[in-house]
Structure 1
Amino acid sequence: MNNAASILILAFLALTFLQSGYEKIFYWQDNVTWLKEHFAKTKLKNQVPLALFHLLVLELISGIFCVVGIIQLVTKSGREFGFYGAIFSCICLLMMLFGQRLAKDYDGARTIVIYFIPAVIAVYWLN
């Protein structure tokens, strides 16, 4: 299998973002409450539900594109959806990194970088 590493990274990203999207959908109020507290001292304090909704949409797009990208790689019918899934994953992670830095949660920001590295590798391999 020529694309094993790309498939594994896309699976990692798909699981990450589809699970995160699931949690946002089914535990919406818990997330909003926690994030309002997290961003209480920032300019985002009044924008939490809207920002969370935007992130949710992008996470679902990322996860779905990654799944379709895996199917494309397995069936050797292209790489476009995997590439777009990786790009949208990077955008989601950059949005989260921005939020963590804005909230001065540097440990949280550091954790996001761990996810960002394989996402950028996927962009590079699938380009």
Structure 2
Amino acid sequence: MNYASILILLFLAVTFIQSGYDKVSDWKGNVGWLKEHFAQTLLRNSVPLALFIILALELVAGIFCVVGSIQLLTNGERNYGFYGAVFACITLIFLLFGQRIAKDYDGARTIAIYFIPAVMAVYWLG
């Protein structure tokens, strides 16, 4: 049993499902803050669409990570966990792109910290 992979998948699941929940529960507040955050960038007119894309990616990643954890625990299969880790990496790359465009280097650094375990999961489960 690959306990490290299960723990990373659970970490990613909590991260992305909670983040998705936050976006849904305070959509208006998130859009307002992000419009300000991206006011001086090429993303300024695309904030609601970009936020929706990120929300969808986060939920897909989170759900795949939950299902992948269960799959690893029950039958040792890795495909859903792998997909969850890949979607997590894609989501984090999108988020990193946004932070770099906004010149929020501290935010970009934080995303890089999340990227490390996500890539480890892709490697271990691939």
| TM > 0.5 | yes
> Partners of 2:2 and 2:75 in 1: how far apart?
9
**TM-score where L is the length of structure 2:** 0.99
Code of the residue aligned with 2:13 in structure 1: it is A
| Other-structure match for 2:49 | 50
**Secondary structure of the structure 1 residue equivalent to 2:61:** helix
Per the TM alignment, residue 77 of structure 1 is displaced from its structure 2 partner at its CA by 4.6
Deviations 1:51-75 (A, max 9, x none): 0000000100000000000011001
Runs of 4+ aligned structure 1 residues displaced above 4 Å come to none
> Partners of 1:44 and 1:96 in 2: how far apart?
12
Deviations 1:74-119 (A, max 9, x none): 0125110000000000000000000000000001000000000000
- Whether 1:60 aligns to 2:59 is yes
| Other-structure match for 2:20 | 21
> Partners of 1:25 and 1:35 in 2: how far apart?
14
> Partners of 2:65 and 2:110 in 1: how far apart?
21
Percent identity reads 70
Superposed CA RMSD? 0.6
| Other-structure match for 1:92 | 91
Matched pairs, number: 126
> Partners of 1:99 and 1:77 in 2: how far apart?
36
| Other-structure match for 2:120 | 121
Per the TM alignment, residue 21 of structure 1 is displaced from its structure 2 partner at its CA by 0.3
| Other-structure match for 2:77 | 78
> Partners of 1:67 and 1:55 in 2: how far apart?
18
> Partners of 1:109 and 1:3 in 2: how far apart?
30
Name structure 1 gaps, 5 residues minimum. Answer: none
